[in-house]
A and B are shown apart, each in its own frame.
Chain A
Amino acid sequence: MTEVLVVGAGLTGLFASLLAAEHGDAVTLVAQGHGGLGLCHGCIDIWGRATPSRALSRLRKSHPYRLAGTAALHAAVEFFDEITQQAKYPFSGSISRNLRLPTALGSIHPTALAPQSLAQGDLDDGTPFALAGIDNLRDFYPQLAASNLRHTGIAVQSVLELPIPLDGIRHDFSTSDLAQLFDQPNWREETARFWKPHMTGIKRLGLPAVLGLRDPQHVLEDMQQRLGVTLFEIPTLPPCLPGLRLEVILRRRALNTGVHLIEGPRAVGRIDGRSGGRRVSGVVLQTAGGPRIHTADVVILATGGILNGGIVFHQNGSVQESVFDIPVNYDEGRDCWTTASPIDSQPYSGYGIMVNDHMQTLDAKGAPIFENLYVAGGLLGGADRTMEGSRQGIDLATAYRAVEVALF
C-alpha cells in the first residue's frame, strides 16, 4: 500500500484523494482550510468557447490538457459522473457540446457539465422562463439579471420577488442558511404554500441557488412537484451552493473511503528524501502545537493558483510556489503581469508550474526535480482558465493523470 499525501482540498485535491483511496492506497489529505469549491459555480467547465472537442486537440503542447491527454480527461469525467450519480446529484451535459446557463448578472455561462437544477436553465431550451429573487436574501437581484439577459436578446417572461415564512428568530439569510432550511420537509411545504399563488402562467422559473445542501436533487424534485413548474437555479455570490454541494459530496465520499483529512495547518516546507535529493519524503505542517512532519511515498501538490495561495506574487516582482519552492514560469517585472484592459486575457493568469506529461515538475534541463512529486490543478501554468473556460476540466484531467502515473 503506497502512502499518498495530497496537499490542497479544492476540486483537484479532493478528486485526486478519492482516486487514490479507491485504488486502495493510504491517503492523507492536508489542507489549509476549505478549498475553493464553495466559491465556484459548481459546474464543470471544460472549454467555454466554440466546439470544445476540436479546440482541445489544437492546443499548445505545454497546455495542461495536452500534457494530461484526452484519455485522462474522458476517464476523469467518467469517474466524476459516477461519483455524482451515486451521491444522487446527477449532472447533465457532455464534453462535446456546452450548455448555456444564465448567471446572476444576466450574462451567459457556457459549461460542459452542470447539475440538473442548473442545467434546467439552459438558454437553448425553448421553454419561456421567469426569474425570481427571494425576500430577506441579500445579494441576488433578479431585475439586474433579467435586464442584462434582455439586452442580449433573451426573453425573460417576468421578474418576481418571492416571500418566505419567517420563523421568528431569523430575518436575514445567507444562501447557505436558506439551503439548510430547504433541506427540511416542513419548511418546503410552508414555502411552497407561500409561493404557489405567484406561479400562475409560469412554466419555468429561475431562482438563486438555495434549494438544499444535503440532498439537493430531492429538494428540487419536491419543490417542482409542489409548485407545478420546472425550477432552475442560478449560482450566487459565495457561499455558492452548487459548489458547496460538490464539496460536501466529495468530502463525504473521501472520508468514508478512509482518506485521512488534516484540515487547518499550512504546509510550510518539504523534507528531502533519497536519491540525492531527487525525491521528496514529506512535508512540514504548521499545526497548533508547532511544526510537525508528515511523511509519504508520493506527494500530489494541488494548492491552486494565485487566489488559492498555491502561488504567491511578491511586491519585489518575484513569483513563488508556496510549499516546495518549485520554480514558477512567469515574466520578470510587475509591469508585464497585467494588460491595460482588465477584461482582456491577463499574462499572470498563465503563470504557474511547468510539468511534463507525467505531471512532474521540471528543472532548467527538463528533467523531473522530484521523482515522486506530482502537480495538478490551478497551480499548473500554461493556461488562461478564465478566458478559456477550462478551470474544472483542467483540475479533473490533471488530477486523474497525476494519480494514474503515480499509482495505477
Chain B
Amino acid sequence: MNPPSFTTDLCLKCNICTAACPVAAVTDLFPGPKSIGPQAERFRHPRLPMPDVSVDWCSGCGTCSRVCPHGVAVAEINILAKGRLAKERHVPVRDRIISRPEILGRIASPLATFVNASIRLRSTRWLLEKTVGISRHAPLPSFTRTPLRKLFPDRCFDTPFDVEHDIDHTVAFFHGCSNNYYEPELGGLTIAILERLGFEVVIPPQMCCGLPLQSNGLFDAARRHAQANITWLAPFAKQGIPIVGTSTSCTLMLKHDYRTILGIQGEDVEMVAGSTYDFFEFLTFFMKDEIKRIEFNSLRAHALYHPPCKLRNHGIGVPALQILRRIPELQLHLSESECCGAGGTYGMKLDKFPVAYQVGQKLFSQIHQLKLDFVICDSETCRWWIAKHTDLPVYHPLEIMARAMDIQYNLHPESKGERQ
C-alpha cells in the first residue's frame, strides 16, 4: 500500500472535495481539503517545519477522500499532516485528556453516580471551559457503573481456542469504549440481536481503537493501541470469526486507519481489516435471506436517519437503511448533510466549537423543519451531539431494529418488575 502522499499526483484540482467539505463551507480558517491536502503536501518537507497551520481546522470527517473520483487520499494526507503539526507544537493537556476515553471510563465508572452528577452541574462545565478549554455547550457522555465486560463476563474470551462452540456461527464483538463505559445497554442489545439471529457472541480482549489519539495528533500512543488490538484480534480473524462492531469510527480504524494512517503492516493487520464488519454490513452480507424473512413489528413514527461520515467512509453504502426501510409505518427521512459537525473530539474544543456548530446547523435545521419523533444515527459522538443541539432522542439504528423485533435488554434486571 502506497503512502497517502503518493496519491497527490492523481489530483486534477477539480474541486469536488472543496465543494463537499463541510468545514470549508462555513469558515475561512480552513481553506479546503484540496488546498490543504494534495496542494500543500508539496510544500511539507520531511525535515523542515510545517509551512502552514490551517490543517488543524480539519475535523477529520473524511468526506473529501470519499467524494474524490480520482483516488486521491485527501483526508489521509490531512490527518497525517495534522499529526506532524501536533508533534511540532505542544499538544494541549485538554487534548491529551479527551483523547483517552478508555482511561477516563476506567477511572470514572466506579464513581459514576458522583461524576455524572457533577458533569451535569453548570459550574463544573464553566470550570472545565475556563481551565482546560472544553466547550460548555458540547455534550459529554454519562459514565456507567457497570461496564459491558462486567455484565457479560461469561462471554469474554482471551483466545478463540477457549470458545467451545460452532465457529461458523460465532461473532467476535468489538464493543469499543462507548459500549463498555458509556452505553452498555446498547452493547447488551447488540448481543441480544445477534443471539436471536442464531450467533454465538464472544467478546475478545481489546482496548480503545486509538482514533481519538490519532485525531489529536498523538500518533505514537495511537499506534500502541493499534498494535495491542491487532495482537488480540488477529487470532479470532485467523479462525474465520468475523469481528463485528457498532461504533462506525472504531471499525473504520480496524479496517483502514491502522494500515493507511498509522502505517502498520503485516499479515495480522490485513487479516483483522478483512474480517471486520459494521454491525449492519454484517447482517446484510451474511444474513441477507434471513433478514428478508423477518417480519418486523410496525413502528408508527417520523424519523430522520443521518449516516455518520465514518460509516460512509467504509465504502459499504448505508446498510442499516436496508433494514430500517422494511419496518412498517416507520416514516424515514434522509439527512441531506454530509456531516453533523461533531467530529469526535473536535466539537468539544472551545476554539473549534463554533465551527463544529456551524457545520451542524444544516442538519439541525432540516431536523427542526421535519417535526420528527426521533433521529437515527450510528456513531455515538454524533448521537450525543445531535441530541444536545436538537433536543430530540437520537437512537442507534440497532435500537430501532430491536424495537421492531421485540428484543429488549435490561441493564438492571432486578428493577424490571418495578418499571412494568
Contact = CB atoms under 8 A, between A and B. Distances in A.
Contacts of A36: 69
A143 B15 CA distance: 24
Contacts of A289: 254-256, 273-274, 276-277, 314
Contacts of A290: 255, 270, 273-274
Nearest to B358: A169
B315 A287 contact: yes
Contact of B28 (A171, A176, A256, A261): A171
Interface in A336-373: none
Interface string A374-404: 0000000000000000000000000000000
Contacts of A237: 15
Contact of A261 (B16, B25, B31, B318): B318
A49 interface: no
Contacts of B28: 169-172
A285 B19 contact: no
Interface string A227-268: 000000000011100001000000010011010111111100
A255 B333 CA distance: 10
Given A169-B27, A285-B315, A239 B19 contact: yes
B255 A174 contact: no
A92 interface: no
Tell which of A32, A35, A172 has the most Cβ of chain B within 10 Å.
A32
Interface in B110-161: none
A162 interface: no
B32 A174 contact: yes
Contacts of B24: 174, 177
Nearest to A179: B19
B329 interface: no
Interface string B1-27: 000000000000011101110001101
B411 interface: no
Nearest to A293: B285
A39 B28 CA distance: 23
Contact of A238 (B15, B67, B68, B321): B15
B295 interface: no
B216 to A, nearest CB: 21
Contact of A262 (B14, B18, B316): B316
Tell which of B24, B28, B255 has the most Cβ of chain A within 10 Å.
B28
B315 A260 contact: no
Nearest to A287: B315
Contacts of A38: 14-16, 19
A11 to B, nearest CB: 13
Given A33-B66, A34-B69, A290-B273, A174 B19 contact: yes
Contact of A258 (B276, B325, B336): B325
Contacts of A180: 25
Contacts of B315: 262-265, 285-288
A290 B28 CA distance: 36
Contact of B312 (A32, A35, A263): A263
B136 to A, nearest CB: 21
A308 B277 CA distance: 30
Contacts of A31: 69
Tell which of B31, B70, B325 has the most Cβ of chain A within 10 Å.
B70
A309 interface: yes
Contact of B16 (A239, A256, A287): A239
Contacts of B68: 33
A121 to B, nearest CB: 23
B69 A239 contact: no
Contacts of B14: 38-39, 238
A28 B67 contact: no
A260 B312 CA distance: 12
A288 B317 contact: no
26 contacts: A32-B69, A33-B69, A34-B69, A36-B69, A171-B28, A174-B19, A174-B32, A177-B24, A238-B14, A239-B15, A244-B19, A261-B318, A262-B315, A264-B65, A264-B312, A264-B313, A264-B314, A286-B315, A287-B315, A287-B316, A288-B315, A289-B255, A289-B273, A289-B277, A309-B69, A309-B70
Interface of A: 28, 31-36, 38-39, 169-172, 174, 176-177, 180, 214, 237-239, 244, 252, 255-256, 258, 260-266, 285-290, 292, 308-309
For the complex of A and B, list the 5 residue pairs with the smallest distance between their C-beta atoms, beginning with the closest.
Answer: A265-B315, A33-B69, A239-B19, A289-B255, A262-B317
Given A31-B69, A171-B28, A288-B252, 19 more contacts: A28-B317, A33-B68, A33-B69, A38-B19, A172-B31, A174-B24, A176-B19, A180-B25, A237-B15, A238-B19, A255-B334, A260-B321, A263-B312, A264-B315, A266-B71, A287-B316, A289-B255, A289-B256, A289-B273
